[in-house]
Structure 1
Amino acid sequence: MSATRMPPPQPAQRVGAAPKKNEPQTPDDGPDFRTQVHAWLESHRASLVDSLRRLGKQPIGSFFTCLVMAVALSLPMGLALLLDNVERLGGSWQRAAQISVFLHIDASDAQGQAMREEIASMSDVAEAEWISREQALTEFQQQTGLGEALKELPENPLPGVVLVTPKEIDKATLEALRQQLSELPRVQQAQLDMLWVERLTAILKLGERFVFGLTLLLVLALLLVIGNTIRLHIENRRTEIEVIKLVGGTDSYVRRPFLYMGALYGFGAGLLAWGLLAYGLDWLNSAVVRLSGLYGSDFALGGVPVSDGLSLLLGAVLLGYIGAWLAVARHLSELAPR
């Protein structure tokens, strides 16, 4: 009797179960873009809130850190604002570099007025003023006190003159303009006090260079202050940071709270510096107004323009951010778990 051949064993199938389908295996694409953006925003929000909370726990220390930064920020900005106000003292600086265009002695008032209009239409001229022979003689008598002596002269010896105010104070430009004016018809001489122009330009450039150098020094000081402050915060949280890196925290995750902290220090310092400048200029303005009133002038110091204040605030935030970045970048390699 031959043995019966048994079929190979088949996998068990649950009674009533639907037959299996060969479904394609799709790879896991991970979270979508919206989820990633939400997680990124939530991480930044948590870092910002944590930085604010830590600064709030030390209000006195945080205030004095911001105050030191504010003093360093307000010094160069205050000097720059004072320099701008000095340029307006007694009129514009361009008036100190006027070119006197003397006409021939026989030039009439009508010719002088026509000459003034022609000069005023030039591109390098900001303003032109005609002074007639009679007006020049009257002003000369008042300024010199020689009125009785001048009355003995048979005729007025002073020519008519056009006072030209240039748009720019530049030695080469002014000399070219003076040469152009001297070649006009009916012009006897075009005179410019180049020595005064050079002195004026040197004074302005000296003030600008001083403000620029002081700004660089104080910016370096601000970076050192914010860097040292952030370094202390890093040392206080060293154990916490080492644990975060031990469980897989990235450098950007570790760096983010300190960057927010540096930006917050800069924001507070910028607001304090803006307030100090506004109060300081207002306090100084009362004395300036009294002094200018004694000289018959209505000169007064201008306040802090909104654009300059916003620039100061933005610069302070950027300095705080950069200082924090440098401090964290320097110590990040030392924060590896032990």
Structure 2
Amino acid sequence: MSATRMPPPQPAQRVGAAPKKEDLPTTDPQAGPDFRSQLAAWVESHRASLLDGLRRLFKQPIGSFFTCLVMAVALSLPMGLSLLLDNIQRLGVSWQSAAQISLYMQIDASDRQGEELRAQIAKMPDVAEAQWISREQALAEFQQQSGLGEALKELPSNPLPGVVVVTPKEVDKDALEALRGRLAELPKVQQAQLDLLWVERLSAMLKLGDRFVFGLALLLISALLLVIGNTIRLHIENRRIEIEVIKLVGGTDSYVRRPFLYMGTLYGLGAGLLAWGLLAYGLNWLNDAVVRLSGLYGSDFGLAGVPLPDALSLVCGAVLLGYIGAWLAVARHLRELAPR
């Protein structure tokens, strides 16, 4: 009986071993990693850098808070002054009412003629509003405001003329002069009066305030960049050995720079939110005194809060400043971080 030939024993496959070469998918050796792998690696790197920045900020909560607070104070100063200037423009009288043109009618002008003239002026393209004040209304207002009511009653007749008060659409010196000249030539108009000196003073004060705020903003932005740069520089010095090792094993400059850029962005975000809160609280605290003061003058004026677009611009600007400050600091010290 002949022995049955048995097949040679097959080698056992180790658990967890890599598949045989013939089982691996064939790929082009010249082709690099696909786009999906690159995108996943890029997202993972940014996520790790963001988490690392958050961990290091929360590791020193007091120092991080005071850094954000210093930045918030520097950010809130120019923004607060700008909001106060906007509120000053609304105080009392507006730009248009500050530049009203008063047309004093002739004494013999009737109320009907005054109303017709008012309607004619209101249709002009560069006029926002026209109001007719009759002689009786003018006398009543003068008696009430001057306190000479009993003395004026002794006059044989009303000496005050009717007035058409014209509010222009735009406040411009040359345009106002031209409008006043045209209105002075209308029938039954005896005199057209415009207080240009008050308009010029108000415009000069507001322009001075705008320039002051702009200059202060430039100075404080420079100071913020220095604060961010110095803070990031300290973090770089604390991680110098780690960074040298990363560069020694082939880490790129962008990989080294990324965590610090996220730290600067987080500092800016915290400072922007704190500045928003400081402005909202400060204006609300100041508004109580302003309301009491305006109430003594019979006005309901109050400070407006921080508009949402301005608040979002403040936060975005703070984030951008934090990013720029961190980038400048890392770019300056990156060439010094080569492995020794």
Aligned match for 1:275, one of 274, 277, 281: 277
Structure 1 segment 158-169 matched on structure 2, within 5 A: 158-169=160-171
Aligned match for 1:314, one of 313, 316, 337: 316
Q: Which position in structure 1 is the counterpart of 2:223?
A: 221
How big is the shift at 1:148?
A: 4.8
Could you tell me how far apart the structure 2 residues matched to 1:38 and 1:84 are? 48
Could you tell me how far apart the structure 2 residues matched to 1:204 and 1:123 are? 27
Could you tell me how far apart the structure 1 residues matched to 2:326 and 2:172 are? 43
TM-score normalised to the size of structure 1?
0.87
How big is the shift at 1:324?
A: 0.7
Total equivalences in the alignment = 315
Structure 2 residue matching 1:130: 3-state secondary structure: strand
Q: Which position in structure 2 is the counterpart of 1:286?
A: 288
Q: Which position in structure 2 is the counterpart of 1:336?
A: 338
Cα RMSD after superposing both structures: 2.0
Please give the per-residue CA displacement for 1:23-45, whole angstroms capped at 9, x wherever unaligned.
Answer: x9955221222222221111111
Could you tell me how far apart the structure 2 residues matched to 1:50 and 1:121 are? 66
Q: Which position in structure 2 is the counterpart of 1:253?
A: 255
Please give the per-residue CA displacement for 1:137-188, whole angstroms capped at 9, x wherever unaligned.
Answer: 2222333344455445544332221112223332222222222322333322
Structure 1 segment 1-338 matched on structure 2, within 5 A: 26=28, 28-338=30-340
Could you tell me how far apart the structure 1 residues matched to 2:179 and 2:252 are? 65
Could you tell me how far apart the structure 1 residues matched to 2:124 and 2:290 are? 37
Look up the equivalent residue of 2:200 and give its one-letter code: E
Structure 1 residue matching 2:312: 3-state secondary structure: helix
Does the C-alpha gap of structure 1 residues 25 and 306 become closer, same or farther in structure 2, counting only changes over 3 Å?
closer
Contact 1:269–1:316, Cα closer than 8 Å, also in 2: yes
Structure 2 spans left out of the alignment, 5+ residues? 1-25
Look up the equivalent residue of 1:109 and give its one-letter code: D
Could you tell me how far apart the structure 2 residues matched to 1:47 and 1:287 are? 47
Structure 1 residue matching 2:318: 3-state secondary structure: helix
Please give the per-residue CA displacement for 1:34-71, whole angstroms capped at 9, x wherever unaligned.
Answer: 22222111111111111111111111100000000011
Structure 2 residue matching 1:162: 3-state secondary structure: strand
Could you tell me how far apart the structure 1 residues matched to 2:268 and 2:286 are? 26
Between the two proteins, what is the percent identity of the paired residues? 81
Q: Which moved more, 1:99-108 or 1:305-314?
A: 99-108
Contact 1:169–1:201, Cα closer than 8 Å, also in 2: no
Look up the equivalent residue of 1:136 and give its one-letter code: A
How big is the shift at 1:96?
A: 1.9
Could you tell me how far apart the structure 1 residues matched to 2:40 and 2:27 are? 28
Does the C-alpha gap of structure 1 residues 52 and 113 become closer, same or farther in structure 2, counting only changes over 3 Å?
same
Could you tell me how far apart the structure 2 residues matched to 1:246 and 1:26 are? 30
Contact 1:83–1:207, Cα closer than 8 Å, also in 2: yes
Could you tell me how far apart the structure 1 residues matched to 2:27 and 2:224 are? 58
Structure 1 residue matching 2:324: 3-state secondary structure: helix
Does the C-alpha gap of structure 1 residues 55 and 130 become closer, same or farther in structure 2, counting only changes over 3 Å?
same
Could you tell me how far apart the structure 1 residues matched to 2:260 and 2:60 are? 15
Look up the equivalent residue of 1:214 and give its one-letter code: L
Could you tell me how far apart the structure 2 residues matched to 1:25 and 1:156 are? 105
Please give the per-residue CA displacement for 1:204-245, whole angstroms capped at 9, x wherever unaligned.
Answer: 111111111111111111111111111111111111112212
Contact 1:47–1:256, Cα closer than 8 Å, also in 2: yes
Could you tell me how far apart the structure 1 residues matched to 2:27 and 2:150 are? 115
Contact 1:242–1:337, Cα closer than 8 Å, also in 2: yes
Look up the equivalent residue of 1:132 and give its one-letter code: S
Look up the equivalent residue of 1:207 and give its one-letter code: G
Q: Which moved more, 1:218-227 or 1:81-90?
A: 81-90
Does the C-alpha gap of structure 1 residues 25 and 333 become closer, same or farther in structure 2, counting only changes over 3 Å?
closer
Could you tell me how far apart the structure 2 residues matched to 1:71 and 1:29 are? 53
TM-score normalised to the size of structure 2?
0.87
